[in-house]
Structures are given as C-alpha cells and as structure tokens.
Structure 1
Amino acid sequence: MFGTCAGLILLAKDLVGYNESHIGVMDIKVERNSFGRQVDSFEADLAIKDVAESFPAVFIRAPHIVEAGENVEILSKHNDRIVAAREGQFLGCSFHPELTDNHGLTAYFVEMVKEARAKQFV
C-alpha cells in the first residue's frame, strides 16, 4: 500500500493531536499540515534512498513523520523532517510524486509489489 500526503496520514498508527488513527498500519507518528497552509505549498529536490539523488517533490499542506518505529526505513528527509519511509509492504510520503514527470518513486513501489508477490509463491 502506497500513501501520499493524506495517504501518509491514513497509514500512520499515531497522529499528533488525535487519539485514534485511521488505517494505522505503519509504525509512524505523523503531524498534519506541518509545512504550513495551502499558500505555503512548495517544491523541493529530495534525495530518496534507492530511488533518486534528486527527486522533484511537490508539498501541498503536507504532513511529516515525527517518529518512526525501529522497523521503519527512512527513505528521505527535508530540512530534518522525515518525508518518506517504508515499513514492509507499506510506503508513505509527505509529498505528491504524481504531480511530477518523475516516475521513480512509483517504479520503486511497483518493485515492492513484485517482491511481495514473489514471497507469496515461495
């Protein structure tokens, strides 16, 4: 499962300021709108582990990961805030990769799906 922006919020087990999570499958704590309001939207080039050294990320009222469990792999940070992570078959990011022409993160997710499928038939 791949959650981008609000999808990251849905995947998180813990949310800053809320008592209950939504889907709650990733061992992460997320803060909503942590980069500001709609007018504070921005783009930044990110290094994303196993994806790209320079990925164009679009942040729109974006959340960020405040805490990550020991089995969560941090894939990217922006200004010391965690903005992309993976835990097993779950991938989450703060930004909107679908709003760029770079399909590297989507390709990474497709490979995750292929890996999970291959493990099913072992």
Structure 2
Amino acid sequence: MKIGILAVQGAFAEHKTKLEKLGARCVELRKKEDLDGDFEGLVLPGGESTVQGKLLRELEMFEPLKEKIQAGMPVLATCAGVILLADHLSNDGHVYFGTMPVTVKRNAYGRQLGSFHTIREMKGIGQVPMTFIRAPYIEKCGEGAEVVAEVDGNIVAVKYKEQYGLAFHPELDEDDRIHEAFLNSVKKYAKKNSPNTWL
C-alpha cells in the first residue's frame, strides 16, 4: 500500500513518519512526474493553503490531483488541506480543489492564539488528542458531508465519501488511530480498484 503525500510546502514529514510506522510506503509528491506513481491514498498536509494552491498550479499538479480525488481516492487532509478540499471559504474568495461540500473559515481561531491542544470525541474512533495551529474550522456542511468531531460547538472534522478533512494535526500527537482509519479506507479502495493487488 503506497500513500502519496503532497510535499510542495508545509508539515508533510510528520505524516510520512507516522504512516511508515504503520507499515505504509510513502512517496513525496513534489512535481508533476511524481503523480505517475501507483499510490492509492493521498495526504494533504498543514501549511499555507494559498502557497500550496499556487504551487500546485505552477507545477501542473493541480488538475491531475483533483481528478484522482474526484475518482474516489481516499484523502486525509489536515488544517490547510481541508481548505484545499472545501468548495467554499467564508473569509477568502479562493476555491481550490472544491471536492468537499463544506464551508471553511480560514484562521478561524485567530492568528494571535497560535495553537492549543484538547482531547475530544471523534466519531468511530473515540477520544483523541487534537492539536490546533492557526487552525480553520468548518462552518457548514453540505449534502453528504458528515460531521465527525466538534470542539466547543465548532466543527473540526468532516468525512465526505473517502475524503477526511480535519482542522487539527493528528500527525503531531502520538495517537495513531486517525491514520490507521485512513489506511483502512485506502485498503478498501485499493482492493476495489485492483482486486489482484497484494496489500
């Protein structure tokens, strides 16, 4: 099982470390040619969404990745990643992939707050640690988008088809269950699309 991790900018290394610890092979996606590999899942890491969106277009990676997401490839998107997936941003005129029917507010907790940590319930997993760094949150979910976690009345995790959008950084905590759940969805996707592939 191979996971593609967007590595043009942002906190991708921590995702790679955690996924490899769980037994996945990872490829860093830095240029268009890297998208030709046979990866079955995609990680969109935290970082600067505007910079990531700009680089994706300049490197001609935007459309090929969008096609993979629209075709059903499982995606784990954290912080800036959920901004890339959202089909509407309440405080920004940009839309990037637009593959998830949610409205996201960028820097929703305010730049001055920096970061905070909490432990809350995540549907299907249980109590999980959540680290927020200049985080967005989801203001509204459209048809088919399922709320899987909230903090103080704000939506911080959503699932839509095989896309997982998190406002926090599970790669920065020791708990592996979110990445394990993502890898389980990748396994199901890979078996469905390549039934003879050994995983």
Give the structure-1-normalised TM-score.
0.92
2:179 aligned counterpart, secondary structure? helix
Structure 1 gaps, min length 5: none
4+ residue segments displaced more than 4 Å:
none
Q: Which residue of 2 aligns with 1:77?
A: 150
2:189 matches 1:105 = no
Q: Is the 8 A contact 1:38 1:60 kept in 2?
A: no
2:134 aligned counterpart, secondary structure? coil
2:92 matches 1:12 = no
Give the alignment's Cα RMSD to 1 decimal: 1.4
C-alpha displacement of 1:17:
2.3
Higher RCO (CA < 8 A, seq sep 6+): 1
Structure 2 gaps, min length 5: 1-74
Residues 50-99 of structure 1 show CA distances to partners (whole Å, capped at 9, x for unaligned) of 112x2110000000001101201111000111000110111010000000
Residues 7-66 of structure 1 show CA distances to partners (whole Å, capped at 9, x for unaligned) of 1111101001223311111011100111122544100101001112x2110000000001
For residues 68 and 39 of structure 1, the distance between their equivalents in structure 2, rounded to whole angstroms, comes to: 25
Go from structure 1 to structure 2 and tell me whether the alpha carbon gap of 1:44 and 1:121 turns closer, same or farther (over 3 Å shift): same
1:13 aligned counterpart, secondary structure? strand
Go from structure 1 to structure 2 and tell me whether the alpha carbon gap of 1:47 and 1:55 turns closer, same or farther (over 3 Å shift): same
2:133 matches 1:60 = yes
Look up the equivalent residue of 2:167 and give its one-letter code.
Answer: S
C-alpha displacement of 1:115:
2.1
For residues 185 and 152 of structure 2, the distance between their equivalents in structure 1, rounded to whole angstroms, comes to: 27
2:76 matches 1:2 = yes
For residues 116 and 104 of structure 1, the distance between their equivalents in structure 2, rounded to whole angstroms, comes to: 18
Higher helix share: 2
Give the structure-2-normalised TM-score.
0.58
Count of residues in Structure 1 that have an aligned counterpart in Structure 2: 121
Identity of aligned residues (%): 36
